[in-house]
Structure 1
């Protein structure tokens, strides 16, 4: 059993992570960041939940770049093959659920 106060979680670097659970090859991690990630495609599906702050989520559909602003409580689902890039606007705390070992 563990209680995590996500609003108080910080990291010593962008995209610092706190491993919460590993359930049958699916990981749940809490991330803190104030810097963009990189364009990437996950090996599996990804659920990206903004817990605190705002994140501009950029993604490509049929080669066309699009973006949407995610605020606390918003969820972005990346199916297999979805190329995406997360850009926080200031500090953000994000819960990510994905296949273990994904980038």
Structure 2
């Protein structure tokens, strides 16, 4: 049993994470960042939940680059093959649920 105060979590580097659970190869991790990630495609589905802060999520749909502003409480679902990159606006804390070993 563990209680995690997400708003108090801060990693020693951007995109540093606290591993919360691994359930049959599906990981749940809490990330802290103040810098963009990198364009990538996961090898499985990904659920991306903004717990604190704001993130501009860029993604490609039908070959076109689009973006959506995600605020605290918003969820982004990346289906298999969705190319995307997260750009926090200031500091952000994000819960990511994805296949173990994903980028």
Query: Which TM-score band applies after superposition, normalised by the shorter structure?
Result: over 0.9
Aligned pairs for 1:1-103 (under 5 A) are: 1-103=1-103
Uncovered stretches (5+) of structure 1, i.e. residues with no partner: none
Instruction: Please give the secondary structure, in 1, of the residue aligned with 2:7.
Output: helix
Cα-to-partner distance string for 1:20-68 (whole Å, 9 max, x where unaligned): 0000000000000000000000000000000000000000001100000
Q: Residues of 2 paired with 1:67 and 1:18: CA distance? A: 27
Uncovered stretches (5+) of structure 2, i.e. residues with no partner: none
Instruction: Please give the secondary structure, in 2, of the residue aligned with 1:7.
Output: helix
* Number of matched pairs: 103
- Runs of 4 or more consecutive aligned structure 1 residues displaced over 6 Å after TM superposition: none
Q: Name the Cα RMSD after superposition.
A: 0.3
